[in-house]
Structure formats: structure tokens, C-alpha cells
Amino acid sequence: MRLIRVVLCVVMMLSGWQVVAQAQSAESQSNDAQAAQAKDSGKAAYSLPPEKLERAIAYSRQRTVLGFVDTGWGIVVLLLLLTTGAAAWMRRVAVGLSANRWVQGFTFFLLFLTITTALGLPLDMYGHHLSVAYGQSVQHWGSWFGDIAKSFGLSFFFGGLLVMLLFLVIRKSPTRWWFWFWIPAMVIVVVGTFVYPIFIDPLFNKFEPLVQSNATLVGQLEQVVARGGIEIPPERMFLMKASEKVTGLNAYVTGIGASKRVVVWDTSIAKATPQEIQFIFGHEMGHYVLNHIYKGMAFTGVLLLALFWLGYRGMQGLLARYGEAWGIAGQDTWSAFVVLMLVVSVASFFAEPITSGYQRQQEHAADVYGQEAIHGIVQDPQAVAQQAFQVLGEQSLTDPNPNAFVEFWTFSHPSIGRRAEFAKHYNPWVAGGKPEYFQK
């Protein structure tokens, strides 16, 4: 599911955070943090050998802590910008430079983006160091910094435009801007989802038609497509050279309309069997067939509207109380952007369980679909699916015992253990059973 990434990009651009388009997509990043609930050790559907288990637990703990620290630090940075007067200073610099609003807006945003990126860099670097240390990434620092620089450039350009638009709407409609800004924001989400795989993804990874190097696999995947009764022509299947940066395996569906496509990482092809890839592909096809991208967009729409309204109310409240101390005259001054980002960041953090819960439910549906999609094509769908989760978990060093709170708050997928356990027991073809998404 790439949609949430697109949405995050919009929100991050709005908030001025860089779009760190790391090689890992949302799908596998979450797998990183995922873990199994192997209560009955030895009999668990997903388990790790002792030495791997130890590393997986250590890695997952550090990742979890880093995730929460990163969010907290982002909020602290915004608070610091406000309380030290840095936000007011950035506005003075921008306004002092030119009377032209475009120059002012982009200057203010450049300062904001530079300072927040610089202050967030040590944690980002530590995150990359962890990935390398635990064998999850093979990307060297030069390439990693290159990605950061590209993200920064993209954020500056698109984020700057959004900031200009935001302040235009705030000036035109001081009390209803949260609604009027929501409309173009939704257009951007839709357009962004369409263009992302065409223009943004290739900036960070290499893609080629899957059929070019894996004609046999394309044939095997077309078998699954045929069972789904839909059409995904081979031109819509891509291979991503993920192995240049990461070691984990993944596949995903992205884009809408004419840009809709399935992407398989080359690491999956190297490490999973054709049958396991058929299952992983079936799962992705589930997202495709069950219209998860469109549903996700609708969900995002509701969430964004709530977020903007909260942003409006929160900003009003904070400015009334601290505006003078922070040197911010009103919501239509450039520096008010930092206040808005503070409210949006805090609200986004508390909205995380809602987003994660929604995603987990979609991911589970895709798991069901995937397993049903390979029925009749592979001999034992249950075993194939379970083994696919085993490979996935082992490769991404997934802790089999995730903390229940962390799972509830942050996991975009059910834990690998839960997924493997479900796969092991899911058999709707026994007497009296009926598949959920297929006739037979």
C-alpha cells in the first residue's frame, strides 16, 4: 500500500519534513517492526532460530524506540523554534529580503526546511546506521545522503508551493480556510498518487518491466491474475532493483488509473520461491482488486479534513495564548506556519492508531485474498503462505513477540506471527466452507 506514503508526503511537505523516500516502502518498513505472537514456542507458525531471535529482538526494540523518539523530537524542535523566537526570526529574514510574497514564502520555507532537516539528521543517520548494522540495508552513505538531498529538493519545491497556497487561502478566508484548503489538498493527493510511480519513484530506484528479466515468473503471475478474473497486463508489472539498497523482500501496488501497477522487488525474486512470490503477488492483487487505493484515499480525505480543522482551532488557541510571547502576530504571518505544524504533528501522532488500525484491516483482507488467489495454482496454499511469512520475517529480522501497545499504535500490518498463524489455519475449501472473494 503506497497510498499512505503519498499522503505522508503531502503532510510532510506541509509540515516541512523531508520526504525521506528510503528504498524501503511502507510495506516493508512496517514489516521491519512487525513481529510474531509466538506464544506456544516451537509450534508457532512463525519462529526464528535462537541467534537470529536475539538479533531480531534487539533490532526491533531499537527501531521502536527510535520511531517514538523521532516523533517526539520533531515536536520538540517545533516547540523550540517557537519558544526561542527562531520562527519569528525566520519571518523577519524572509520579509526583510523582499516585498514579493513568493520570495518571502519560499525563503521562509527554505529556512524552516533547512533547520528542521538539520536537527532531524542525527536521528535519521542513526536509523540508517541501524539498518546497515543489522544487515537490512546495503546502501552506502554517499547514496543515502544523495537520497536525502533529492527529498529535500522535492520537499522544497512542492512544499513551498503548498505553503504559498495555504497562506493565500488563509488570507482569503480567515475562518474557513481549513475547508477551502482541504479541496486542493485532496486534488493533490489524487494527482500525487497518479504521478508518484511515474516521476518520483524512479528518482530513488531503478525500475524495468518484469518480463524483461523474468518472463517465466510473469507467466506464473498471469495464472494468478486469470484466477482473479481481472486484467493486469505484463506492461503493468515492474521489477524494482531494490538489492542496490536493501536486503528485505517486498512487492506493492501503486498508482491509479493509467499509472496503476504492481512492483516486485528483485530481492523477493532472489530469496523467495516462485510459489511464495505468487502468494505475495496475490496479496498485492488483493489491494488492487479490492480497491484499497481508492478506499484509502476516501479515508485520507476524512482524516485530512479533521486534521485541518484541528489545525485551525489549535492554531487559534495557541496564538491567542502565546502569540505575543512567540512574536507571531496572527495566523496570516509566515511564522504561524510553525504553530500549525506543531498542532498537525501532535494530532497526527494521536491519529496514528486510527490509521494503523485501518491499514491492518486492509492488509488482513489482502492476505485472505492472496491465499484464495493461489488456490488451485499451488498445491498447498496454506503452507505456501505460511512459508512466505516465515521468509519475510526472517529476512527483515522481525521479532516474534511484539509489544501489544506498539502493535496497536504503529503496525500497519498485523504482526507476522498473526499473519502466519492465520495462513496456517485458513482453509475455506473444507466441507461447509466458502472462500470470501472467489466463487470456489
Exposure on the CB side of residue 241, measured as CA atoms within 13 A? 12
- Shortest distance, CB of residue 12 to Zn ion, whole angstroms? 21
Mapped onto helix, strand or coil, the DSSP state of residue 313 is helix
**Closer to Zn ion by Cβ: residue 290 or 305:** 290
Q: What cell does 21 get?
A: 523516500
20, 240, 412 from 244: Cα distances, Å: 17, 10, 25
Question: What is the distance between the alpha carbons of residues 88 and 101, in angstroms, rounded to a whole number?
Answer: 17
Mapped onto helix, strand or coil, the DSSP state of residue 248 is coil
**Closer to Zn ion by Cβ: residue 218 or 262:** 262
**Closer to Zn ion by Cβ: residue 151 or 268:** 268
- Shortest distance, CB of residue 373 to Zn ion, whole angstroms? 13
- Shortest distance, CB of residue 203 to Zn ion, whole angstroms? 23
Residues contacting residue 381 through CB under 8 Å, at least 6 positions apart:
279, 371, 372, 374, 375
- Grid cell 476516501 in the structure block, residue: 298
Using the contact rule CB under 5 A, the part of the chain among 185-193, 208-216, 365-373, 414-422 near Zn ion is 365-373
225-232 long-range contacts (CB < 8 A, ≥24 apart) are 225/285, 227/373, 227/374, 227/375, 227/376, 227/377, 227/438, 228/282, 228/285, 228/289, 228/373, 230/285, 230/288, 230/289, 232/262, 232/285, 232/288
**Closer to Zn ion by Cβ: residue 266 or 363:** 363
**Closer to Zn ion by Cβ: residue 86 or 366:** 366
- Shortest distance, CB of residue 284 to Zn ion, whole angstroms? 6
Binding mask 36-65 for Zn ion (x = CB under 5 A): ------------------------------
* Residues paired with residue 238 on neighbouring β-strands, in sequence order: 209, 263
- Shortest distance, CB of residue 25 to Zn ion, whole angstroms? 10
Q: How many residues bind Zn ion (CB under 5 A)?
A: 2
Residues contacting residue 53 through CB under 8 Å, at least 6 positions apart:
47, 399, 400
Query: Count of CB atoms within 10 A of residue 42's CB?
Result: 6
> Residue from 3, 366, 374, 423 that binds Zn ion (CB under 5 A)?
366
Mapped onto helix, strand or coil, the DSSP state of residue 71 is helix
**Closer to Zn ion by Cβ: residue 34 or 37:** 34
- Shortest distance, CB of residue 344 to Zn ion, whole angstroms? 27
**Closer to Zn ion by Cβ: residue 28 or 104:** 28
Binding mask 174-213 for Zn ion (x = CB under 5 A): ----------------------------------------
Sign of CA dihedral 118, 120, 126, 129: negative
Asked if 90 touches Zn ion (CB under 5 A), the answer is no
**Closer to Zn ion by Cβ: residue 95 or 290:** 290
Q: In terms of Cα–Cα distance, which of 302, 301, 311, 309 is closest to 341?
A: 311
**Closer to Zn ion by Cβ: residue 245 or 287:** 287
* Environment class of 180 (CB within 10 Å of its CB; exposed 0-12, middle 13-18, buried 19+): middle
Residues 334-363 that bind Zn ion (CB under 5 A): 363
- Shortest distance, CB of residue 416 to Zn ion, whole angstroms? 13
- Shortest distance, CB of residue 54 to Zn ion, whole angstroms? 28
Using the contact rule CB under 5 A, the part of the chain among 122-130, 139-147, 364-372, 402-410 near Zn ion is 364-372
For residue 375, the 8-state DSSP code is B
**Closer to Zn ion by Cβ: residue 363 or 399:** 363
- Shortest distance, CB of residue 139 to Zn ion, whole angstroms? 23
- Shortest distance, CB of residue 363 to Zn ion, whole angstroms? 5
Residues that bind Zn ion (CB under 5 A): 363, 366
